[in-house]
């Protein structure tokens, strides 16, 4: 995985401030999961129940701005979805096969 511990901490801090103790799981997917590759954007996926995902979508631009402030100006893709929709979406279902869990929030996050 091509993320530094301080990058993971920054990402989880920014998203965690919005999520607090609500259930959600943060994944890294795409080229940054491959140690042998170079470059590429940071593909992040948050799976959360519908109400939580809806709240995150409303703040998505603010979250991306905060992430860029913390991590510097780099390409960051932030996808927000409910688990059932992610399993039905061919792109997200494929991404989840090789995705790396970065953080789980909430009491029931193991089910997300």
List of domains in the chain:
5-105 (3.30.460.10)
Among residues 11, 9, 90, the alpha carbon closest in space to that of 43 is found at 11
- Alpha-carbon span 52 to 55, nearest angstrom: 5
pLDDT digits (tens, 9 = 90+) for 94-109: 999 999 999 999 965 4
Does the pLDDT at position 1 exceed 90? Answer: no
- Alpha-carbon span 26 to 44, nearest angstrom: 7
Q: Which residues contact 57 (CB under 8 A, 6 or more apart)?
A: 80
Q: What tokens were used for 51? A: 């109400």
Does the pLDDT at position 110 exceed 50? Answer: no
What pTM does this model have? Answer: 0.91
Contact call for residues 4 and 87 (beta carbons, < 8 A): no
Q: Residue 35: its pLDDT value, please?
A: 76
Q: Can you give the length of the chain in residues? A: 112
Read off the pLDDT of each residue in 42-52 and give the average, rounded to a whole number: 96
User: In the block, which residue shows the tokens 């103790």?
Assistant: 21
Read off the pLDDT of each residue in 27-56 and give the average, rounded to a whole number: 91
Confidence of residue 85 (pLDDT cuts 50, 70, 90): very high
């Amino acid at each position: 995985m091509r993320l530094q511990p301080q990058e993971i901490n920054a990402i989880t801090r920014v998203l965690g401030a919005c999520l607090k103790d609500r259930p959600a799981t943060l994944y890294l997917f795409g080229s940054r999961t491959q140690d042998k590759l170079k470059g590429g954007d940071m593909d992040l996926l948050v799976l959360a129940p519908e109400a939580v995902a809806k709240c995150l979508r409303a703040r998505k631009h603010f979250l991306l701005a905060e992430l860029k402030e913390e991590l510097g100006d780099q390409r960051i893709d932030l996808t927000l979805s409910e688990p059932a929709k992610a399993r039905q979406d061919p792109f997200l279902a494929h991404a989840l096969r090789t995705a790396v869990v970065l953080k789980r929030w909430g009491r029931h996050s193991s089910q997300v």
